[in-house]
Structure 1
Amino acid sequence: MVSSELLYVAFVGAVSIERLAELVISRRNARRAFAKGGVEVGQAHFRVMALMHSAFLAACPLEVFALDRPFPGLLGFAALAAALLAQALRYWVIVTLGEQWNVRIIVVPGARPVSGGPYRYLRHPNYAAVIVEMVALPLIHGAWLTALVFSAINAAVLEVRIRAEEAALGPGYAAEMGGLPRLVPGRRAPPPEQRGGP
């Protein structure tokens, strides 16, 4: 019988392969964006982000084996469900953005913000999926230390990433999407002209 540890390694391996496939899509979309005059920003923090994600995928099984983490039963199944939902949200984002989806921040002049799919509810659904994944993927097999450490690092990286992305997208993006919550679904804020106060 296959052990839960080996099944977990296989699952993390499948996620890693999926990430490599995303990089292929991202590179293709980047070429198309640059051909349309796209401008990239945030290269420095992107390198940090890429390193963090690679280290995260390695740390998940490493903690399980090095610290002998057992499969946590119901918590493990709940974490698996959350991880699968995060993947579904990620695919929804990729399909919705089409050629505009990228792991890098590349802004094409004149391109309008996408407001369909998950972007009806959140400004950054892809980052919401990443946040869930950083917690859920390690906890599938009890790697709580990886979940804690990388969630903290990810929060710091996303703080920089989201600011850079929203600044690059400019005032048109802010006007159209600024009323949406960034990462947690909720009520859309009213347009600036309908808000009270100064």
Structure 2
Amino acid sequence: MLFGIVISIVILQRLIELFIARRNEKWMKSQGAFEAGATHYPFMVGLHILFFISLLTEVLFFNRELSLIWPFLLAIFLVTQLLRIWCLSSLGKFWNTKIIVLPNAQVVRKGPYKWIRHPNYIIVATELLVLPLLFNAFFTAVLFTLLNCWMMTVRIPTEEKALKEATNYTKEFLLNK
């Protein structure tokens, strides 16, 4: 029961985020933005779709029960959702699931971005680990944590390169440590 509720809410949340991302992409591109990393984006989307398929399969097929420490794991998951909203609202129209960069834009240095460069990636990594652990889906937790780590070795350098070349990113994040 709890699994169905949680997974439905998370999938609905992701669909809403895709709608927001498309709207933001359209606005940014109308302002002269460009996309970086388009070649790896389908793999990232596939990773996330396969995550949900794996989670659903592992929990339902193997009759996984709630973890004994589910209140703790659920609390972590709920905090990550609040942090996710904070990230999205801090970036506003600049938030996207793709790497969309508006040349000469001032990078966002508010919210969690005041302290760390990629807070949303930390949140996603936490979700990919905690959500399966909440339901004892250990295979999904380990596999997709590793796959996400691999994806971030591609995504973060691609994003940083685009931001360094087109915005004040170097000045804001790399020189002001």
Q: TM-score range by the shorter chain?
A: over 0.9
| 1-structure distance, mates of 2:64, 2:160 | 39
Given that 1:8 and 1:61 are in contact with CA atoms closer than 8 Å, whether structure 2 keeps it comes out as no
The match for 1:145 among 110, 128, 139 is 139
The match for 2:159 among 162, 165, 175 is 165
Q: Which amino acid aligns with 2:117?
A: R
Deviations along 1:137-189, whole A, 9 cap, x unmatched? 0011111110000000000001100000000001631221126xxxxxxxxxx
Moved over 6 A (4+): none
Q: Which has the higher contact order (CA 8 A, sep 6+)?
A: 2
Alignment pair present for 1:178 and 2:174 = yes
SS of the aligned residue for 1:112 comes to coil
The structural deviation recorded for 1:81 is 1.2
CA RMSD of aligned residues (A): 1.3
Given that 1:72 and 1:140 are in contact with CA atoms closer than 8 Å, whether structure 2 keeps it comes out as yes
Given that 1:41 and 1:168 are in contact with CA atoms closer than 8 Å, whether structure 2 keeps it comes out as yes
| 2-structure distance, mates of 1:54, 1:84 | 21
Identity %: 37
TM-score when scaled to structure 1? 0.84
Alignment pair present for 1:125 and 2:119 = yes
Structure 2: runs of 5 or more not aligned: none
TM-score when scaled to structure 2? 0.94
Structure 1: runs of 5 or more not aligned: 1-5, 180-189, 192-198
The aligned counterpart of 1:18 is 13
The aligned counterpart of 1:185 is none
Instruction: State the number of aligned residues.
Output: 175
